[in-house]
Amino acid sequence: MKKQRLFTGLQPSGNLHIGNYFGVLQPFLNLYPKYDSFLMVADYHSLTSSHDSQSLRENTLNIVRDYLAVGVDPEEVTIFRQSDNPDHTELAWILNCMVTVPFLQQGHAYKDKVAKGMEPNAGLFTYPMLQAADIALYDTDVVPVGEDQRQHLEYTREAVSKFNRTYGEIIKKPETIIMGAVGVVPGTDGQKMSKSYKNTVPLFGSKEEIEESVMRIITDSEGDIPETVLALHKLFKPEGELTDLYESNKGRYGDLKKALAHDINSFIEPMREKKKSITDADIVDVLEKGAQKAKEVSSQTMSQVRSAIGLNLI
């Protein structure tokens, strides 16, 4: 039986932390083999918030290297850059011409980011239509998202529906896969782990960097068992295996943190070694092959779209 097609994208936004691994990477690793999966590096999307060209180059190489290091197989997943396929911006323009300004003004993500001080540039405002184009180009069946991202897919479905009502049933309307909640991965200060809070444990940090981050975890001096340390430890070992350790080390926060750092390093070490072996040339090769396959699929969609709207003269 032919597999359904899955599409997801990721922004090249710097170094990953263990919250990213358990919240995004691990769920993708469990999901992608069940589908004909497309994984896009959303480098055009990143321009809405960053104009540092050197960082974009480095982050693009790093995010692909990270996904390969954790176990994504480029023979099984089509990995490509958004900017390597001009069909994305062409279809985005067409979809922009299908929706209204009031429709785009309803976007939660746009309003939230502007409220937090991000420049309200036009790219940020029309971001949902570039995202809709990303998905629509690949005859996508399913898109995995978190519950908080449901509106993103509703925007895509609305734009596709309006196009199809106007020009005929040309573009497939994707379905949403809501990713199961993994719970909040706590940072070193007890809040949700986030680069913006500067409370992360680096996914591919050195042994020393990981131990340093873990030793910074804020603990309650009145409690026998540090809750944040235990919550993180459960991600790396079954709770049953931790019971004796935490019982025998009540109040000895330093020893428990060292045990956590050791188990994080043991978990990460194979991925860290694999990452070291992946060269920039390897990544470029993966992206070039992925772009070729992506264009083969998207060109079929765009041929139908261009014909439907009257751009193909013959």
Active-site positions read 113, 192, 195
Residues 6 or more apart whose CB falls under 8 angstroms from that of 110 comprise 104, 120, 124, 125, 127, 128
Q: Say how far apart CA 53 and CA 47 lie, in whole Å.
A: 9
Q: Where does 197-252 have alpha helices with state H?
A: 207-215, 227-233, 239-248
Which of the 8 DSSP states describes residue 17? B
Distances (CA, A) of 163 to 132, 171, 202, 255, 269: 12, 8, 43, 61, 49
Distances (CA, A) of 189 to 199, 217, 228, 284: 6, 6, 8, 38
Q: Say how far apart CA 270 and CA 276 lie, in whole Å.
A: 10
Q: Say how far apart CA 287 and CA 43 lie, in whole Å.
A: 13
Q: Say how far apart CA 258 and CA 208 lie, in whole Å.
A: 11
The token pair at 55 is 């960082």
Closest CA to 80 of 16, 32, 131, 134: 134
Q: Where does 71-136 have alpha helices with state H?
A: 87-96, 101-105, 108-115, 122-136
Give 170-207 as a DSSP string: -SPPPEEEEPPP----B-TTSSBP-GGGT---BTT--H
Q: Within 10 Å of residue 308's Cβ, how many Cβ atoms?
A: 18
